A and B are shown apart, each in its own frame.
Chain A
Amino acid sequence: MKPEDHSERTLELAGWPVRVISYKLGDTYHATADNVSPGANIARARGATKEEAEQSVLAKAAERLATTRVVPIDD
């Protein structure tokens, strides 16, 4: 099977840039979210439609990003 309907976009989520990649494999849509800098995958989800997979992955990513603590730096 070949990945179809591949798309990639970057948005801001919980104050952090996030890249969402989604594609269809067989009958299922798959989506991943990474944190752009440094680029680690932080969530993966699947769904019957592209929208469903992306909404699910963004919800998971938002939950994980909300745990990130920022420490003030005196430059």
Chain B
Amino acid sequence: MDPWDLAKPRALAYLEHMKTLLTALLVASATLISAQSLPNVSVLKLDGSKTELSSLREEGKPMIVSFWATWCKPCINELNAMAEYYDDLHEETGVTLVAVSIDDSRTSPKVGPFVAGQGWDYTVVLDPNSDLRRAMGVNNVPHTFLLNGAGEVVWQANKYVPGEEEVLVAEVRKLK
């Protein structure tokens, strides 16, 4: 007897089972409304040490998570535009802006010198394996999230257009 004949019913049953699971997952996803919170993924600080994104937030205060790269012009424009508001906004609302660089090993060594040359006061972290990017469902950069004091995403934009910083600043003030 062909070994495949023996294996076939089991293989088919397995496939059927997988199909069930996938269908269930899709059905569940269709009905699920999720206000997101931060995924449990570690990122690298510029000195090479590991940290959790959630530990960079001031307790009970809002946080902006902005995905960017040194080669992404709109990302840099956005972070430059926010830089003018950041110090005052931080004082006023306690908001922390974490700029998550998705630069890979080609461009990640440039992140430190680049940030210095821009004069940003943000906390900058690296996500070289794109673990956080995938976990937060980020497709393109820039992609910016605003989280409230409870760590839930309350606003997001997967682009930057000039003037959007004003919208973001207003959203942060709403959380005060």
Q: Do A and B come from one complex?
A: no
Chain B residues at the A interface, C-beta cutoff of 8 Å: none
Chain A residues at the B interface, C-beta cutoff of 8 Å: none
